[in-house]
A and B are shown apart, each in its own frame.
Chain A
Amino acid sequence: MASTEEVFERKQTNLKEITPSTEITSEGAFRDNVIVQEKPKKIIKIVRAGLINIRYSIETALVIAKKEILMILRYPWEIIFWTLMPLMWLVPFVFQGQALVGSALQSENFANLAGTTNVLEFIFIGALMWNIVDSAIWGAGNALRWEQHSGTLQYLWLAPISRINLMIGASLGSTIWSLIEIVGQFALLSIFVSWQVTFVDVVVTLLVLVLVIIGLYGFSFAFAAVILVFKEPGVFTEFVDSALYICSPVRYPTQVLPNWAKWIAWVIPFSWGLSAVRLLLMTNDSIISMLYMVGIIAAIDFIFWIGGYFLFLLAERKTLKQGDLGAF
């Protein structure tokens, strides 16, 4: 057991190392001094550590995203194929619409529900935006399963990085992939539709898109958590994809859905994002009139992130505890 003098001497030495110029007269003064002298240093240290952490997190996410993009670029036909395919899926809807309401594809009933008579633009924007959800489900949500298929999951898991950063990186890669598709499809659809958009509309649309994407990241974490536990994602992915597609206003306004399905649509940030983008690109409404939508998206984003994050941590802990992370 060290004596009081010894403790005092040790503390004094420590203090001298930190602040050699500080003069100490009594133990009480010493304690006060320590607080006064160490607090700013500690805060700086914490802030610095936090910044370094954020930097590493960004670096890790970017490395993972780069890996994903490099893999995509190895299959250039995939990009062309997946840019064209959603447009091919649109054709039957156009012909069906013409068979039901005439070749002009103008419907009064549709206008009452959607606020626009332009069915063609409505479904085109829906198709463009659906790419984001598709990539969140099939790309980011299934990212860990794809790693498992290619035999690299364990290596990534052993790397001294946060698993969430791993997911953010995968989501980032998927987002870039879907943005490439959207730009390509937008260019092709412009042949058939003359978009009446201003520069401000484009900027606000991009901001809304970013908000929607952030929310879907949270959704991807939750999705990845389920896959981490249940492994084979086929059925789950298919089900979520179909359910979201039916309940989202991709091809039709949500007003036409039964009440229970409307509730599902309301809790998906994508539905609000899509409505906001349509409002911007298809009507002359001011940005202020859609600010409440942006607020709702931000609130849902927050809930999705918190929920997704904790669900992912829970799933990770469960799989590690059970030792079936590597189980195929």
Chain B
Amino acid sequence: MSERSRGTGDGGRGTGKKAGVLSLVPCPLSLALVHPLLIVGALIVGALALIAILAPWLATYDPSAIQLDRVLEPPSMAHWLGTDQLGRDLFSRMVYGARISLLIGIIAVGIATVIGLAIGAVAGFYGGWVDAWLMRLVDLMLCFPTLFLVLAVIAVLEPNIVNIMVVIGLTGWMGVARLVRAEVLSLKRREFVLAARAIGAPDSWIIVRHLIPNAMPPVLVSATLGVAGAILVESSLSFLGIGVQPPTPSWGNILAEGKEALGVAWWLTVCPGLAVLVTVLGYYCVGEGLRERWAGR
């Protein structure tokens, strides 16, 4: 492995060469099988996906049912994670919040990845002025601090779920575009692409069937890490009151509402914060695990 990757001297993969940097448990065999990070991450991500899908069956109460005689109750057998200022069951709200957070994170990254794939592949494949202009566009977008841009657009439009997904997607594609461009640049000189050209395949066919599929591994890594980032942005927005609007529960706005009872009801702020932390950590582990795995090929 090291012989070959050293021999190619490929700049784009340079970071991946530091195999073993991230392994929490040093285990030489694990690289060949499945990276331990990948297992930890997959467990977290899988469990969260199940929770989100099964939300209506897992929730012990209606997440928006107000019980004014059960306000701010600490965690108990009846209310596993306690209740909020309106007597709503925190556990049920968290479970539904998982739906919103994952939905926004995944769709936003889906949008970003599609845009990034298209722009990166076109720029890398055609080169010349197309490449120059598209990469200037990437530079331009990278000048804006992400949260600033997202906040501005959300302030101008409505803060609803669709807008949030689209805006996070539209401001997050630059990394993917650069990645795909670099991959395509090195792929397009390979024999199978030349062969496809030789038999007269149209550009679109070469890009979609040959270049993009072969550029996928690093894109998948960045998409997984992107979901983590998007969930952080969404929860930050919702926390600031410019994201998912109540009464729809999202971890960010549960936290924002819980903040008002910070001194008396710790569970309202500790639980959603931990949920975001663990979720992001899960996606992060999967992303890094995949990176390690593919870097070790």
Say whether A and B bind each other.
Answer: no
List the interface of chain A (C-beta within 8 A of B).
none
List the interface of chain B (C-beta within 8 A of A).
none
